[in-house]
Amino acid sequence: MRLLFQSHKLSIYSHSLCCQKKVTRRHIDLWFHCYGQQSNYYVCRRDWKPTCSLVAISSSHVTQIPLVKRLENYLSQARVPNHDQLTFIQRAHRYYQQGEIPSNCEQVLVEWYHSYLQAVCSAGMKMDPNLFTETMFQVLLELVRRCCQHRYPFEPFHQSIREPFDYLEFGLDFARPIVHVAKSIILGTEYIIGSIPQQLERGENVVFFSNHQSEGDPHAIHVLLEEKLGQGKLAEKIIFMAGDRVRDDPVAMPFSMGRNLLTVYSKRHINDFPETKADKLTHNRKTIAKMQQLLEQGGNMIWFAPSGGRDRRDSHSGLVKVADFVPESLELMRFVASQVKTVVHFYPMALRTWDLLPPPDHIQVALGEKRYVRYVPIGLAIGEPIQWPWMKQEPPNGVGKEQIRQERASHLHHKVKELYEKLGGLEQ
């Protein structure tokens, strides 16, 4: 198929399209919107089948909507301007010049764009990677611009926003092409497709204690469960315990808005700005109360990283190790669960996602961290339910409260570390 743009005249030569369907004006508008000014001539890959080959395996209400149609919906719902035919990079610079986004946002988005395009090209997707990347980043730019102008007020319990803009599906469409699903690994499928759905069906709760490696972990988990096991519906229900970084950074906000979140200020960052510490503590108390309410209600899944942050590459060994778990954070979750009458099951979870979107080498106070993605396989493992040391019986004589908490944290860390090593996490 060849598309030829000459001024306002358009000639289309189409051969052997899937199902013998002609390219519609909607597709032409999409292509022209992204590339009309950039080039007078554009060739679409021959193996692209615009209406049939890009159906998502999604469990949401958009299931079976072709990717081209979803992209078109994103452009329309995000109200991406279509009167000037600016490329993403040109528009990002214009927004910076007009004071609509800060300079670090422009820089982060443009650098991310280039690494994302390279990752999508490596994936070999059937749709032209330039077209797909350009469209997704045009939409993302509009969402970021709005977050810069009007910061979204995340409540202690934030529920996924699906209308009028489907933030969840946008985030999944953003993540799917850069995950090498065929080579990715899931361990513990007997829990994912067996005991966990049964426990939820009985109105019981499930809590995952996990390491945390990438800003994109919620979407990475969703893509794996959906694409490898057909458990997209299950993935949609997970409530992620989210720190302030993914809620305050305007580049991260659009992706966070698509997930179910319990929002907290982590111990790692709660003292960054002392004048706001009291408000942060008040917010955390509200979140804990809401979490207890959700567990009392039953039938909920909560994902929690007891480390309070992402795993980072060790400067001495060069390995990406599971960060130590904070005993106080772990104990708080265990205590809240012990206060409800509904049954709570605790599972260890390990993630191997560092290569997908590596965190900065060091913890940053300022927002606006660089993002660099790669097309890589990832991994997820769930182990057998946790049996806490001294959880149901009295501790031995001479064992203090602090030692008990440390023992519990060490016990859990060891379980997650074992799963992580089975995934080959140390090879990243």
Banded model confidence at residue 21, pLDDT cuts 50, 70, 90: very low
Whether residue 51 has pLDDT greater than 60: no
Report pLDDT digits (tens) over 199-210: 999 999 999 999
Least confident residue range of 94-98, 285-289, 349-353, 369-373 = 369-373
Q: What percent of the chain has pLDDT over 70?
A: 79
C-alpha 265/C-alpha 346 separation (Å) is: 23
Banded model confidence at residue 223, pLDDT cuts 50, 70, 90: very high
Cis peptide before 164 (omega within 30 of 0): yes
Whether residue 356 has pLDDT greater than 70: yes
According to the model, what pLDDT value does residue 407 have? Answer: 87
Whether residue 369 has pLDDT greater than 70: yes
Mean of the pLDDT values across residues 346-359?
96
Least confident residue range of 67-71, 255-259, 416-420 = 67-71
C-alpha 358/C-alpha 181 separation (Å) is: 18
Banded model confidence at residue 276, pLDDT cuts 50, 70, 90: confident
Please identify, in words, the CATH class of the domain defined by 153-423: alpha beta
Give me 92's structure tokens. 């990002």
C-alpha 257/C-alpha 264 separation (Å) is: 15
Contact (Cβ atoms closer than 8 angstroms) between residue 386 and residue 330: no
- Helices 103-123 and 88-97 pack at an angle, to 10 degrees, of 170
Mean of the pLDDT values across residues 407-418?
94
Mean of the pLDDT values across residues 258-278?
80
C-alpha 42/C-alpha 3 separation (Å) is: 6
- pTM reported for the whole predicted model: 0.84
Whether residue 222 has pLDDT greater than 60: yes
- Nearest residue to 308 (alpha-carbon basis) of 354, 346, 357, 265: 265
**Cα 374 to the center of its chain, rounded Å:** 14
Contacts of 71 (CB under 8 A, 6+ apart): 30, 132, 135, 136, 173
Mean of pLDDT over the chain: 83
**Cα 309 to the center of its chain, rounded Å:** 15
Contact (Cβ atoms closer than 8 angstroms) between residue 268 and residue 244: no
Contact (Cβ atoms closer than 8 angstroms) between residue 67 and residue 177: no
Q: What percent of the chain has pLDDT over 90?
A: 64
How would DSSP label each residue in 278-296? HHHHHHHHHHHHHHHHHHH
According to the model, what pLDDT value does residue 280 have? Answer: 82
- Nearest residue to 353 (alpha-carbon basis) of 219, 224, 214: 214
Question: Could you tell me the residue ranges of all domains in the chain?
Answer: 64-150, 153-423
Give me 195's structure tokens. 């005991």
